[in-house]
Structure 1
Amino acid sequence: MTDVKKMIGQVFEEIADGIESGSFGKKAVVAVTTLGSEHGVENVVKGAELAQKKDPSIEVRLIGPKVETSLKQYEANTDEEGYKVMEELLDSGEIGACVTMHYNFPIGVSTVGRTVTPAFAREMYVATTTGTSSAHRIEAMVKNGIYGLIAAKTAGVKRPSLGILNVDGANQVERAFNQLKENGFDFDFAESHRADGGVKMRGNDVLQGTPDVLVTDTLTGNILMKMFSSFTTGGGFEAHGYGYGPGIGEDYNRTILIVSRASGYPVIANALIYAADLVKGDLGKVSKEVFKNAKAAGLDKILDSFKETKKEEKEDEEITAPAKEIVSEAIAGIDILELEDATHKLWKNGIYAESGMGCTGPVIMVSKEKIQEAKEVLKAEGYM
């Protein structure tokens, strides 16, 4: 009975949202370009028809060569024609979103994939999977997390949790999101299912879909999407998930979603449904709201700090290690990219330290007597 009441409540909430936004009773119009697939135009058309069948509340259209179908078509016989038609339809508002292959986004825009993880069949947003949020790795990953929250919120996840894949730069990204949270940016961290917990996601967290939004660098995200989508088919036919997702960036106004040339018709269908979710949820509106809140919490200042390199030691100043001591205590939470600099900073402050790699990531080893002093130095220098 409780579930029924909950469902009824959700229905009324959706109706109210639709009336407020002016979208109630309207179909989300989405399109797909049919050229470029390794599996042929027929595969894309089959995916489009499947999406229309699965969700009658949307209207699916095709951009490409004329084919036998009941779906509305816009003729385009080359990739270039297809992109031109797609952009014109998006800019005019005739379609709300479009799924395509191999589209060049400007720097600052990258795509948020959506997949179904194998362990518990949980949906997870992978931020990001194609495109380049920034030329600076850490700045890019912070932006990727913002983009992931935007995509998940727009697609209907009321309060998405955010986890950071345990890759190079993860600690710096975690510090950035902690700063945003402390400054009032409202979101939830995911908690690793590993015994030691934390916001950094390990391999089993990825398989289990522990976070709603998984933050990573784009190249790793691309590989994860490929693995999730085609691990049962050997890689040549992507059969699972919703594709590589929408290009998101500050002030970017087109809702264009990417699929791979290897994407099979099930992924094409899901990508169109993902596109419709973004149209219904008003991606542009959500994006503006999230960016506004993030900037109010100091996002720009935090991103600028990554572009400032640590003060370099004078060329004629040689840093040597203090007298060697027995190092039995480990300090975790130092990013691998900053490990050597952090160790040298301790040396400069008269603390003997050694860098190392524990089972959960990089560590700095110091003596039991110096651990508290070492932590204070590292915190003061911005390494923790």
Structure 2
Amino acid sequence: MEEKKIKQLIGKTMLEIAEAIETGSFGQKARVGITILGSEHGSENLIKGAELAARSNPDMEVILIGPKNDSGLETVEIESEEEMHTKMEELLDTKYIDSCVTMHYNFPIGVSTVGKVFTPGMGKEMYLATTTGTSSVHRSEAMVKNALHGIITAKSMGIENPTVGILNLDGARQVERALKDFDSRGYAIDFAESMRSDGGSVMRGNDLLCGTADVMVTDTLTGNIMMKVFSSFTTGGSYEASGFGYGPGIGEDYERTILILSRASGVPVVANAISYAKDLAKGRLSEKCSTEFADAKKAGLDEILESLKETKKTETAAEEVKMPEKETVTGQISGIDIMDLEDAVTALWKENIYAESGMGCTGPIVRVSEARIEMARAALVKAEYLA
């Protein structure tokens, strides 16, 4: 047994040496900052998290940004939260630190954070895209960007082909169509398959709990709520005890690696967030972001996003469409966004296919005759209501 452990240690060391030579980081430690003012649990909570992270990561130096303290860790002294963030930005821009963890920081529009959690069902790590910030003021466009932000983060953390799932929210089907279009244009996306029997890349609650996808795409407000639930469901919410925090701000041309904590984050989360920041620095997040956005633009990202901003107007909007003769509708077609549901029904009426809208257990459905289900599906694909 002892010989086996020695061999494993040698193997791990050789891999680390090879990686260090390849990246040019041999002998270098990542320098990660953390601001220590603003926690609901006091500065001591943040300092203890920093000390824990420093002990657990010999390949990292932790730099505190805040008032003088007796932690023994290097401290860049400041006295106020306003001064704290200004100093943090200065240290990042001058490359004195590689990344930083902070609280209550405002990102520009277009930048949003990718959180990381332990899922309670399987204890698997999962990236929530996104959890704070705003990728776009347009919901569907934001969620498509969130997917890209999640992929960038997961790749920076060493997951070469992260699986991507879309949480079953309003707009999820529209986002799914856009991402599949994106994939078909050359930006490869590995879509996750729901653990539910009907499968698909639109994820349900079970998939959240079990971590079916490496990257779970959601709108930011829902992602923020999920982060709070995952991190503090055992504590009642006042103390976040699990997970890695709300993650790094990602956006096109955004170069600072700044990770967000909640003011309620406890010592374990603080320590994990600092380790997360170290891994992202070593994974060269900023470079990965530039590369992935360049590849995404080559695959038509801007065109896809622009199409999502356009209000969908069917040819039937300006004309009265007569309802066909009623039929028994036992056939179901899912995969249509709730916002498009009634328009999809009208589009089928125009094709003289009787249809009704409905809500199944996995979301909106169009109900048609079993005999017409394939004809109806083809008509909906042609009208761009289905992928």
TM-score after normalising by structure 1: 0.95
Offset, 1:366: 1.1
1:248 aligns with one of 241, 247, 250 = 250
Name 1:116's counterpart in structure 2: 118
Name 2:350's counterpart in structure 1: 348
Offset, 1:313: 5.5
2:142 aligns with one of 140, 143, 149 = 140
Distance (whole Å) between structure 1 residues aligned to residue 203 and residue 352 of structure 2: 35
Offset, 1:324: 1.9
Offset, 1:246: 0.2
Name 1:26's counterpart in structure 2: 28
3-state SS of paired residue (2:381): helix
Offset, 1:180: 2.0
Offset, 1:186: 2.4
What is the root-mean-square deviation in Å for CA atoms of aligned residues?
1.9
2:259 aligns with one of 251, 257, 260 = 257
Q: Which amino acid in 1 is paired with 2:279?
A: D
- Any idea what the Cα deviations from partners look like across 1:196-227, whole Å, max 9, x if unmatched? 22111111111111111111111111111000
Offset, 1:5: 7.6
Distance (whole Å) between structure 1 residues aligned to residue 86 and residue 44 of structure 2: 22
Offset, 1:15: 2.7
Inter-CA distance 6–139: structure 2 relative to 1 (3 Å threshold): farther
Pair 1:88-2:129 in alignment = no
Pair 1:360-2:362 in alignment = yes
Contact (CA 8 Å) 2:316, 2:346: kept in 1 or not?
A: no
Inter-CA distance 382–9: structure 2 relative to 1 (3 Å threshold): farther
Pair 1:272-2:271 in alignment = no
Inter-CA distance 62–307: structure 2 relative to 1 (3 Å threshold): same
Pair 1:373-2:375 in alignment = yes
Offset, 1:187: 3.2
Inter-CA distance 343–33: structure 2 relative to 1 (3 Å threshold): same
Distance (whole Å) between structure 2 residues aligned to residue 379 and residue 4 of structure 1: 58
| Count of residues in Structure 1 that have an aligned counterpart in Structure 2 | 384
Name 1:212's counterpart in structure 2: 214
Offset, 1:57: 0.9
Inter-CA distance 158–8: structure 2 relative to 1 (3 Å threshold): farther
Distance (whole Å) between structure 2 residues aligned to residue 176 and residue 4 of structure 1: 49
- Any idea what the Cα deviations from partners look like across 1:24-52, whole Å, max 9, x if unmatched? 21000001111110000111111111110
Name 1:66's counterpart in structure 2: 68
Name 2:306's counterpart in structure 1: 304
Q: Which amino acid in 1 is paired with 2:213?
A: P
Name 1:293's counterpart in structure 2: 295
3-state SS of paired residue (1:16): helix
Name 1:166's counterpart in structure 2: 168
Offset, 1:20: 2.6
Distance (whole Å) between structure 1 residues aligned to residue 10 and residue 357 of structure 2: 57
Offset, 1:79: 1.0
Distance (whole Å) between structure 2 residues aligned to residue 79 and residue 354 of structure 1: 56
Distance (whole Å) between structure 2 residues aligned to residue 175 and residue 247 of structure 1: 26
3-state SS of paired residue (2:265): coil
Offset, 1:315: 7.1
Name 2:48's counterpart in structure 1: 46
Offset, 1:168: 1.2
3-state SS of paired residue (2:248): strand
3-state SS of paired residue (2:370): coil
Distance (whole Å) between structure 2 residues aligned to residue 281 and residue 255 of structure 1: 11
3-state SS of paired residue (1:318): coil
3-state SS of paired residue (2:131): strand
- Any idea what the Cα deviations from partners look like across 1:260-285, whole Å, max 9, x if unmatched? 00001111110000000010000011
Q: Which amino acid in 2 is paired with 1:51?
A: A
Distance (whole Å) between structure 2 residues aligned to residue 4 and residue 292 of structure 1: 43
Paired residues for 1:147-158 under 5 Å: 147-158=149-160
3-state SS of paired residue (2:133): strand
3-state SS of paired residue (1:163): strand
Inter-CA distance 367–180: structure 2 relative to 1 (3 Å threshold): same
Q: Unaligned 5+ residue runs, structure 1?
A: none
Distance (whole Å) between structure 2 residues aligned to residue 341 and residue 3 of structure 1: 63
Inter-CA distance 196–9: structure 2 relative to 1 (3 Å threshold): farther
Distance (whole Å) between structure 2 residues aligned to residue 67 and residue 31 of structure 1: 15
Paired residues for 1:324-339 under 5 Å: 324-339=326-341
Offset, 1:371: 2.1
TM-score after normalising by structure 2: 0.95
Distance (whole Å) between structure 1 residues aligned to residue 283 and residue 339 of structure 2: 38
Offset, 1:329: 0.8
Inter-CA distance 266–316: structure 2 relative to 1 (3 Å threshold): closer
Name 2:285's counterpart in structure 1: 283
- Any idea what the Cα deviations from partners look like across 1:128-149, whole Å, max 9, x if unmatched? 0000001111111111011001
Offset, 1:319: 3.5
2:195 aligns with one of 193, 196, 200 = 193
Q: Which amino acid in 2 is paired with 1:208?
A: C
Inter-CA distance 234–98: structure 2 relative to 1 (3 Å threshold): same
The percent identity for this pair of structures is 60
Offset, 1:331: 0.8
